Structure 1
Amino acid sequence: MINVYVNDETAPLKTVILGTAKGIGDTPDLDDAYDPKSKEHIAAGTYPKEADMVAEMEAFAKVLEKHNVKVYRPEIIENYNQIFSRDIGFVIEDKFIKPRILKDRKEEIKGIQYILDKINPAQIVSVPEDVRVEGGDVMPWNDHIFVGYSEKEDFEKYIVARTNKAGLDFLTNEFHNKKVKGFQLNKSDEVAKDNALHLDCCFQPIGNNQAIIYKDGFKFEEDYNYLKDYFGEENLIHITRDEMYEMNSNVFSISPKVIVLEKNFTRLAKILEEKGFTVELVPYAEISKMEGLLRCSTLPLEREK
């Protein structure tokens, strides 16, 4: 059995699902892409190739295993994108939440069913019919759950709006003991540099009391200010619009001290090392072309209490 437990973003990681690029198949048609960065690379002929993405994910797997993390991988569904396992489930406290996501991705959960079968069924919660929520928008952080979401107008307007108000309300009702705080994000179906696809594309806690943040990812300044006040301005690492586009906030914490970064994030790596973090660098630039990175491709099942 797997004892699921996650209460924050950084406690020492014990068990994780890392997605897979195997079987992803050929470059999709432009009409089948559902984020602006993928569209950009399909149009430019620079969409990533399966072999390159497989190599990147194997490098990440090696780093996780080096730190004694138990790594599960999805069973391969041919001609299907199974890289971003973060969106098809997430753990808060001792509950595994099975969300409803884009219909184009509804088969993905089948690839991890053999892992879900190792979890006590009483700990698995399926969200109601009207709820839309993806794991990239959900961040447990001690007494808080931070949630990126879109109100009705934006949710109905943008394909890149993935979590609705019903998703926020569901989490509020499910976790009474937490302060569930929603943040509306800036969305764009066409311009990747103006699009915060998920909350982890513009914000992520690190260490014990610090965070990486892109201020303009938030639709309302008061939401940014909430996080600034919560963490303290001196504990925020601000990233630029270009760094947001390259996914600099989408790093992954193995522990409060160890953070995995894409190897080209040189400015961020230097800042983190100066702050005393151990930085593990992996190549992930090809995967980033699909508007997702290290946090997006992991689904933590158990962190230390």
Structure 2
Amino acid sequence: MKLNVKNETSRLRAVVLGTAESTGGVPDLSDAYDPKSVEHIKAGTYPKDEDMIAEMDAVKKVLEKYGVEVFRPKVIKNYNQIFTRDIGFVIDDKFVKANILPDREQEIEAISHVLEKIGAENVLELPEDAHVEGGDVMPHNDYLFVGTYYGEDYPEYITARTNLKAVEHLQKLFPNKKVKSFNLRKSNTEPRDNALHLDCCFQPVGKGKAIIYKGGFLDEEEYNWLKNFFGEENVFEITREEMYNMNSNVFSISEDVVISEKNFTRLNAWLRENGMTVEEVPYAEIAKQEGLLRCSTLPLIRD
């Protein structure tokens, strides 16, 4: 398999879609990795496997409708394997294994059948102290946008998933890319103030457009840089509540086709106004774990 991912919006040909076949039920509070999951565990509204399976099946149908080859992880019993974006990412023709939370290491083993098709020479690993998850890494042609957290209290945040060492290492691995990092707002307790990954507060869509949430960025200059990069007229600003509901976490099949959650009324209208076909799916149950469509997909090949 010849990998190719240069951006978020080129025509998708092959992808790994996560699975909710056996997530292990409601986790203990001490095992939750993000404040939104904690919120739903406490409220008794944590999502059920059968509901999440139905949501993921709806996405699979859309992908297949557009002729995308869909790979799935091997199912590990009682193990959450929904968010494949966390475990790795493709930049150009290289697959980079993520250094994710230790409890989740089995997830990469579950896609070994995919990695075998790639070839070991095209699979890269970062040093152990360079932490990175795929939700923080966005190839954008000559650029590589990376969400991180600059604070010295990084180790205190279970929600801080990508560190500056990873940013530096990505620059070494991809010297031809302009690596641009963004300092994200983190909270272990309030999901409305927690940009778990860069794709929780920003994502390019369509032809030169982007979805953005200002409050997800700790440094206003970095937010302004992004806004200016795309041009104010091309940016859709989401609210704090829309960020909480994961409005920036849609998934592009091409510049003209976007998979989006059916309840994202304001966003979906804007996407259509800007010439995009919006394939609406139910994904509100999966959203309860602070991830959505981009989080549960790992693109391998785009034209």
Q: Distance in 1 between matches of 2:291 and 2:145?
A: 19
Runs of 4+ aligned residues of structure 1 deviating over 3 Å after TM superposition are: none
Identity %: 61
User: 1:36 corresponds to which residue?
Assistant: 35
Q: Distance in 1 between matches of 2:4 and 2:49?
A: 32
Q: Distance in 2 between matches of 1:254 and 1:4?
A: 16
User: 2:240 corresponds to which residue?
Assistant: 241
Per the alignment, in what secondary structure is the counterpart of residue 117 of structure 2? coil
User: 1:88 corresponds to which residue?
Assistant: 87
The answer to whether the Cα contact below 8 Å between 1:152 and 1:165 also exists between their aligned partners in 2 is no
Q: Distance in 2 between matches of 1:258 and 1:154?
A: 40
Q: Distance in 1 between matches of 2:269 and 2:202?
A: 18
What amino acid sits opposite 1:199 in the alignment? Answer: L
Q: Which runs of 5+ in 2 are unaligned?
A: none
User: 1:297 corresponds to which residue?
Assistant: 296
Q: Distance in 2 between matches of 1:24 and 1:157?
A: 26
Cα offset for 1:151? 2.1
Q: Distance in 1 between matches of 2:230 and 2:238?
A: 16
Moved more, 294-303 or 170-179: 170-179
Task: Output one character per residue of 1:145-186: Cα deviation in whole Å (capped at 9) or x when no partner.
Answer: 000001251421210000001110011111111100000000
Q: Distance in 1 between matches of 2:87 and 2:287?
A: 18
What amino acid sits opposite 2:76 in the alignment? Answer: I
Q: Distance in 2 between matches of 1:15 and 1:132?
A: 26
Q: Distance in 2 between matches of 1:217 and 1:152?
A: 15
Cα offset for 1:244? 0.1
User: 1:45 corresponds to which residue?
Assistant: 44
The answer to whether the Cα contact below 8 Å between 1:148 and 1:163 also exists between their aligned partners in 2 is yes
The alignment's TM-score, normalised by the length of structure 2, stands at 0.99
What amino acid sits opposite 1:275 in the alignment? Answer: N
User: 2:198 corresponds to which residue?
Assistant: 199
Q: Distance in 1 between matches of 2:165 and 2:173?
A: 12
The answer to whether the Cα contact below 8 Å between 1:138 and 1:148 also exists between their aligned partners in 2 is yes
Q: Which runs of 5+ in 1 are unaligned?
A: none
User: 1:104 corresponds to which residue?
Assistant: 103
Pairwise mapping of residues 58-137 of structure 1 onto structure 2 (< 5 A)?
58-137=57-136
The alignment's TM-score, normalised by the length of structure 1, stands at 0.98
The answer to whether the Cα contact below 8 Å between 1:196 and 1:217 also exists between their aligned partners in 2 is yes
> What is the aligned length?
303
